[in-house]
Chains A and B, each alone.
Chain A
Amino acid sequence: AQTVTQSQPEMSVQEAETVTLSCTYDTSESNYYLFWYKQPPSRQMILVIRQEAYKQQNATENRFSVNFQKAAKSFSLKISDSQLGDTAMYFCAFMKGVTSGSRLTFGEGTQLTVNP
């Protein structure tokens, strides 16, 4: 079974600064995908970024980037130039890649607050 751990229940950052959210996972799978989802106060789950485990290059999506360390089973999210709208709960998630339509396994979440 896969587990995903987010060890930072809460974090805060000043507007325009950079913040990194941590995530570690445990799996015996060799083929998998990792995701970060954002959940604002509206509670909708919004995909932020994804990483394929077979890719060594870290994924980047505008102000969001990841630091994927496969050997350490670490998958952190860096948010640059933080904006007030980035305030949300952030969930790290794991998906096995063997078959399509696999379930997502989520971490506990990190509540990020961006302060003006």
Chain B
Amino acid sequence: EPEVTQTPSHQVTQMGQEVILRCVPISNHLYFYWYRQILGQKVEFLVSFYNNEISEKSEIFDDQFSVERPDGSNFTLKIRSTKLEDSAMYFCASSEILLAFFGQGTRLTVV
């Protein structure tokens, strides 16, 4: 069964550093998303991406964040100048039209 794949599964980074979280969406899907879940809290939408551009973003997704589909298969989330409060589980998801399928998540720890 096709699945969304995220790497790495766990990333530890120093405060102030840049991190890139990677995702390989399901191949025939058209819409791509990033969500985050701070430990013990609800899952929050960050951004959606369609046709090589951002289609929607939340208030969380400020200039610190950027997304890219560099090569037609990968979908990346870049977080610049990480802060302690960026520590969370980051989920990539993709959908053909309606149903969003999630990856297993990347646990980001900022120290």
* A and B bind: yes
Could you list which residues of chain A lie within 8 angstroms of chain B, going by C-beta atoms? Answer: 33, 37, 42-47, 50, 91, 95, 100-109
Q: Assess whether B98 is in contact with A100, with CB atoms less than 8 Å apart.
A: yes
Q: Please determine whether A106 and B30 come into contact, CB atoms closer than 8 angstroms.
A: no
The stretch from B20-28, B50-58, B65-73, B74-82 touching chain A is B50-58
Residue of A nearest to B6 (CB): A44
Indicate which residue in A45, A50, A104, A108 contacts B45 across the interface (CB closer than 8 Å).
Answer: A104
A104 to B31, CA, bound (A): 13
Query: Which one of B41, B42, B58 has the greatest number of beta carbons of chain A within 10 Å?
Result: B42
Question: A103: which of B33, B37, B42, B91 is its contact (CB, 8 Å)?
Answer: B33
- Using CB atoms, name the residue of chain A closest to B105: A43
Q: Which of A91, A101, A105 contacts B48 (CB 8 A)?
A: A101
Counting chain B residues whose Cβ lies within 8 A of the other chain, the interface size class is 20 to 34
A53 to chain B, nearest CB (A): 12
> Across the interface, do A50 and B91 meet the contact criterion of CB distance under 8 Å?
no
Contact with A along B37-48 (1 / 0, CB 8 A): 100011111001
Contact with A along B94-111 (1 / 0, CB 8 A): 010111111111010000
Q: A104-B35, A105-B45 are in contact. List 17 more A-B contacts (CB 8 A).
A: A42-B104, A43-B104, A43-B105, A45-B43, A45-B102, A45-B105, A46-B102, A47-B100, A47-B101, A50-B98, A95-B98, A100-B30, A100-B97, A101-B31, A101-B56, A103-B33, A103-B48
